[in-house]
Structure formats: structure tokens, C-alpha cells
Amino acid sequence: MFNLKALIEAHMDELAAIISREHGKVLADSRGDIQRGLDVVEFACGAPHLLKGEYTDGAGPGIDVYSMRQPLGIAAGITPFNFPAMIPLWMAAPAIVCGNAFILKPSERAPSLALRLAELAREAGLPDGILAVLQGDRTLVEALVDHPAIKAVSFVGSSDVAQAVYARGCAAGKRVQAMGGAKNHGIVLPDADLDRAVSDIMGAAYGSAGERCMALPVVVPVGEATAEALRTKLVAAIASLRVGVSTDPDADYGPVITAAHKARVEGYIDLGEQEGAEVVVDGRGFSLQGHEAGFFVGPTLFDHVRPEMRTYQEEIFGPVLQIVRADTLQEAIGLASRHQYGNGVALFTRDGAAARAYAAEVEVGMVGINVPIPVPVSYHSFGGWKRSAFGDHNQYGLDAFRFFTRVKTVTQRWPEPDAAPSARSAYVMPVME
């Protein structure tokens, strides 16, 4: 695993180019994709400590109890197109250091990076058969979930598919963690540093063309004065955004993944307009000179979005930011807490008491305080609530070692060699006396 980390670092530019060429995200974003995966590889190098069990000396007369973590056998990972390096490494590194063989099924929309990672893993010394990459679509996903030799399935994708994979896998007696979609909210209080908040919101809303489950597609200003000031600053910031090809060093984001996805995102913009939201900045029909056939969507901003609108309730997964106005902090907490998704949320404020209350009360799995994309560091764990995650274990961190192992507990007694055996058999439940 140390060798793999070193090889990925040495091949960083090559790997980033593969991602950008196939996915379309800008090179700097591709490097970030790889680096966040590398963080988990580095964490997995601590496996000797993380796999330690527990030991109790003298739990009873001459009796000791200890536990050990053992691998499940074969695990499978089904990963999405938007992070071709990060999420496969989130899954594969912990699974393998726990002693499992791992089958990786990358998205058919961005399949190449997984193959290159497998080549580097072999070069790092991983034995043949421990990491396999299988390419395919829904048919392969169902085959992996159904196969009796596969004991655990880790999935990241849309919520509907995540729920189906979770149900199917559990019905087959497997351990399943299935991460779904999101509709993350960024709440802006009147005391927030607006310039900093706008800078953070812009990157979180439009980075990677909004194709992130931890993107920030909804901003909730508290109070009309905050809303008007925020809107003015967002419009000015959007005017300076640069949409371009992945190799353009000055581009802020690139195209979306497919022509079908471009049509889907623009369809949601049409729907928002029909629902009565105000289209402040319209990204439909965006064309990049020299790349007129590219799958580009311009930055879009809606205002006066209402909670009953479909465009608010559903995940758009594109460069579309919606403003939903609230009168109070409690109203803003309610918006995020009642939403069907519960992946991440961010609060922008200078008020420590408000931030503490918000973090405690909001019904969302990951919270950022003046942090727009609160993806935890590798030694914590990643996971949402409600329809953003199905299963009892989060990604990476200690939860990964719990997910990819099972606990065996041993109770042992070593009688003295000359000790007399018990006079009679015991037929009652044994107790430690």
C-alpha cells in the first residue's frame, strides 16, 4: 500500500490527464480527485493498528477474552463517473488491507482510470487476483450483487439505484453500504462575511460543473437584506466564471459528462422557469467557440425558489444554483432537515452559538461551518442521512475497517495441569463469578 501511494504520486499528471480526457473536468480538479483518494490510501497504511482487536485479562477465574477482526472474503465496489480515482480508492484500499479480494466495477462513462490504478497496484506488488476490474453496466451490477461468493457490496451513485442495490444485496444476505444523491444547502446568516461566503459558494456550486454529491446547489440567505446583497454579489461573480475545456488552465469548470446529461440539466432549467422561479442567470444554449458540439452548460442562477418545486426537491447534478429565501435560522434548519436528502450542509456565520445550535439540530450527515464542501478528512468518515445513504457504515475512516471485516470473539480458559475437573456438569447459563 505504501508502494501504491508512491506510484500514484509519481504518476499524478498522467492519471489526472486520463480523468480529464474522459470525464471532462479541469486538470486541477482531477488532481484533487486523485489526492482525496490518496488520503485514504495513506490512512489504510495504518492497518496494523486499525485492525487490532480487544483483550480482557481475567474476565473470570482463569478466563481471558479477546477479539480479532477477520476479512469477509470477496468484496465488490460499484463507483460513479464523477470521481474516477477518489471513490475507487476509498473502497479498494481499506478492503484490501483488511485482507479481502476486491472487485471494482467503475462507471461505464469513465472506465479507464480504474484499469490504470489496477496496473499500478500490480506494479506495487499486489498479488494477482486481489484486485480485479470488471467493466459493464446494470447487468454486471446485478450479477455482482447476486453472486453468492461476494460478501459485501459498496456502492456510490444515484439514490434510486442505491436503494435498489441495498435492498437486493441485503435480501441476498450481503453486507451493503450504498451512498446516494444529495441536495446540499448553504445557509448564509446576516452576520456572515459575504465576500468570503460568495467565493466559497461559487466553487462549491459550479466546480466540476456541479457534478458532485457534495456540491452546494442550494443557498439559503436568512433575511431579505442578506438575500438581496448575496444575489448581487453572486451575479457579479458568475459573470467572471470561465467555462472551458479540461486542458484550459484558466477554466473554472468543463463540460458535463454526456449529451443526455446536458439535456437533462437544461430540462431542469426549463422546469424551474415553468414552476415560477426567477431565472437570474441562464446557462442554457451555452456554446464554446471551437467546441460547439461539446456538452457545456453555462452557470445558472435561480432566485425565489420555493420548497414545493420539483427543481428544489430533486437533484439536478449540474452547474445550477438555487436561492431559497428564509426569514429565520430555524426556518433554514427546517429546510435542510425536511429535505429527502441529507448528505451535507454548510453554514456561513460569525456567530459561534448559532453555529453550535445548527450543527446539533440539523438532520444531515455532514456539516460545514464556514466550510462549503464538508467532506471529512480520511481518518473520520464520509456518510449522509436519509436518502443519501443506505446501510449502517460510512465510507473510509474507522467505519471502512468495520465494514470490510467481521469480529470474532474468543473466550479461553487454561486450567492448571493438576486441577481437578468439575464434580458435575453445569446445565445453567455460565456466568463469570
How many beta carbons lie within 10 A of that of residue 264, not counting itself?
15
pLDDT band at 187 (very low <50, low <70, confident <90, very high): very high
pLDDT at 125 over 90: yes
pLDDT at 432 over 90: no
Q: Let me know how long the chain is.
A: 433
Catalytic residue flag (residue 45)? no
pLDDT at 178 over 70: yes
Model confidence pLDDT, tens digit, residues 393-414: 999 999 999 999 999 999 999 8
pLDDT band at 27 (very low <50, low <70, confident <90, very high): very high
Q: Which domains does the chain have, with CATH numbers?
A: 2-180+388-410 (3.40.605.10), 185-369 (3.40.309.10)
Q: What is the mean pLDDT of residues 228-241?
A: 98
Average pLDDT across the chain, whole number: 96
pLDDT band at 285 (very low <50, low <70, confident <90, very high): very high
Nearest CA to 212 among 384, 66, 49?
384
Nearest CA to 192 among 237, 240, 229, 234?
229
pLDDT at 419 over 80: no
pLDDT band at 433 (very low <50, low <70, confident <90, very high): low
Q: What is the dihedral of CA 352, 358, 361, 367, to 10 degrees?
A: -110
- Secondary structure of residue 139 in the 3-state scheme: helix
CA distances from 344 to 192, 223, 229 (A): 19, 22, 24
CA 344 to CA 393: how far, in whole Å? 16
Q: What is the mean pLDDT of residues 320-331?
A: 97
At residue 428, the pLDDT reads: 80
Say which of 45, 98, 170, 213 is annotated catalytic: 213
Q: In what order do the strands lie in the sheet with 55-60?
A: 55-60, 63-71, 405-413
pLDDT band at 415 (very low <50, low <70, confident <90, very high): confident
